[in-house]
Amino acid sequence: MTLTLTVPLPHAGCSPNWRGHWAAKAKDVSSYRTDGLVAGKQALNSPEGKLWDPNKLTTISAVFFAHRSQVPDGAARPTDDDNCWSCLKPVRDGLRDAGIFKDDSKQYVAMGTMTIYRDKNTVDKMGGGRPRVVITLEQQG
């Protein structure tokens, strides 16, 4: 079973490389966690989501569509997959809050693939011209 959801690009404070005031970071992390919560609840309200089992192992894969000229100010611009996974931690917590998985330990969550598109033509063609992150959640059986 597969669920697909879309969230905006991470806020700057979600990046492990961001250097700023702790309060600004906390605000960014909280806001992005809420984005994950909302997207998770919407996914669970879909027909596929009605059959979703939070006790099964869920594999998370993500595709970043982030061309520099299209990214709004204040959004993180991750340049490698490690930064991307770190930036998505608040979304993962929000998905847990929404009930997508029981908790975000490795018993319930596995990391899948990470793809990053930065080329303007690719973002325009495949990403609909909008900077965003498309997350795919998969469960076996």
Q: Which domains does the chain show, CATH number per domain? A: 2-139 (3.30.1330)
- pLDDT score recorded for residue 80: 77
In tens digits, what is the pLDDT along the chain, a chain of 141 residues? 999 999 998 888 888 888 889 999 999 999 999 999 999 999 999 998 999 999 999 999 999 887 665 555 555 555 678 888 999 999 999 999 999 999 989 999 999 999 988 766 766 666 566 778 999 999 986
Alpha-carbon distance of 141 to 139, in angstroms, equals 7
User: What amino acid occupies position 73?
Assistant: D
Q: How many CB atoms lie within 10 A of CB 109?
A: 20
Rounded CA separation 106/81 (Å): 19
Distances (CA, A) of 58 to 54, 77, 92, 110: 8, 26, 11, 6
